[in-house]
Amino acid sequence: MKRKILAAVFWTMAAASAFAGAEPVPAAEKSEEAIWQKPDMEGIDTENTKIGISIYQFDDTFMTLYRTELVRYLTEELGFDEKNIIVEDGKNDQEKQTDQIERFIADQADVMILNLVHASAAPMITDLCSEAGIPVVYINRQPDSMEMERWDLEGIQAAYIGADARQSGIFQGEEIAETENKGDVNGDGEVSYIMIQGEPENIDTQYRTAYSVKALENAGVETRELLAQRGDWNQSQGQKIMEEALDEFGDEIEVVFCNNDAMALGALEAIREADRTVGEDIYLAGVDALEEAVQSVVDGEFTGTVFNDYFSQSHGAAELAVKFLKGEETEPVTLVDYVKVTQDNAEEILELVNSKK
């Protein structure tokens, strides 16, 4: 089963399409071997190489899964010495994270892997690292296209690996459109929805918000937004927003889109407390494929989620770092496909998510 899922996940060097704003497409088929091929470590001093990693916030469940797998892959699979892998918590504070990066520079890190608090800080951080002669791999939060294009044009040792958030939004919208009534619970000819969002400046928030609704409308569904409110990726915030929305709009709410699973799990608690039933009188979609969310899909309490493939992303980040250490050329952008998670494949995804425990 695992091979079947992994075969649908691949990474592609897609700088041109990212800059052009091209629409994402469903995953093409590639072999599992091509996905998981380890880099040649010849010439790398794995015992003494220093790797600085900063994560925007350890409290984020998805990024905890990501960083845990990243460190595991660097040490167990690639052989780097864990004592030389320094992982810092940015605590959702860009100033604090910048201080961490400056300490990495002072400690003469050989390469950095950074999940920025604010993607807009990338030009400044890139210049700091470039001036120090330290290559940097950005993960999860995508710098803007002009900044990534600058790396290519100026030969800067920087790269980004992540997923195209438009695709995750499209998959969320399709999950609703593929229900028996296309999300139109009351049969009035339009779908009334609420949108629980991440941080407004985050590109994932913007794309997931826009493209989930766009995909639903492209399926021939009329939509009506009842509420769009930021929950900052937080489960308790998601629950609070959902509780207040149910108090205000009640049975008018037919669909709940959440920009991530943590907020969707919070929304689910509020839905339960309001005696609403997912799949019967309301639909709920998230993103990330957290274990609890995927189990909820299996149990019929989530309409769907979207697998944000932190295995391929974290392995790819490590392998980009190795390329920089070896002086090899890299593409400025590496994109990893999302996978739509519904009851048709949720058990297989759950097996995959649990495989590294």
Q: Model confidence over 126-162: pLDDT tens digits?
A: 999 999 999 999 999 999 999 999 999 999 999 999 9
Q: Looking at residue 38, what is its pLDDT?
A: 86
* Secondary structure (DSSP) of 263-324: HHHHHHHHHHHTT--BTTTBEEE-SB--HHHHHHHHHTSSSBEEE--HHHHHHHHHHHHHHH
Q: What is the DSSP letter of 221?
A: -
Query: Does 296 have pLDDT greater than 50?
Result: yes
Q: How far apart are alpha carbons 254 and 227 in whole angstroms?
A: 12
Q: Are domains 28-163+308-336 and 166-307 of this chain identical in fold? A: yes
pLDDT in tens, 82-115: 999 999 999 999 999 999 999 999 999 999 999 9
| pTM for the whole structure | 0.84
Q: Averaged over 222-240, what is the pLDDT?
A: 98
**Rounded to whole angstroms, how far apart are CA atoms 348 and 240?**
32
Model pLDDT, residue 185: 98
The DSSP result for 15-84, as a single string, is HHHHHHTPPP-PPPP--HHHHHPPPP-TT--TTT--EEEEES-TT-HHHHHHHHHHHHIIIIIT---GGG
Average pLDDT over residues 24-29: 38
Backbone angles phi, psi at 140, to 5 degrees: 70, -45
Task: Read off the pLDDT band of 333 (50, 70, 90).
Answer: very high
> Average of pLDDT values for 167-187?
98
Distances (CA, A) of 57 to 87, 88, 273: 11, 9, 30
Per-domain residue ranges for the chain?
28-163+308-336, 166-307
Task: Report the topology of domain 166-307.
Answer: Rossmann fold (3.40.50)
Nearest to 158 by CA among 131, 118, 129: 129
**pLDDT given for residue 356 in this prediction:** 63
Confidence check: pLDDT of 248 > 80: yes
pLDDT tens-digit series, residues 28-79: 333 333 345 789 999 999 999 999 999 999 999 999 999 999 999 999 999 9
Integer distance in angstroms from the first to the last C-alpha of the chain? Answer: 17
The architecture (CATH level 2) of 28-163+308-336 comes to 3-Layer(aba) Sandwich (3.40)
Task: Report the alpha-carbon distance of residue 8 to residue 32 in Å, rounded.
Answer: 9
Sign of the torsion formed by the C-alpha atoms of 264, 266, 269 and 275: negative
pLDDT at residue number 14: 37
Main-chain phi, psi angles of 128, to 5 degrees: -60, -50
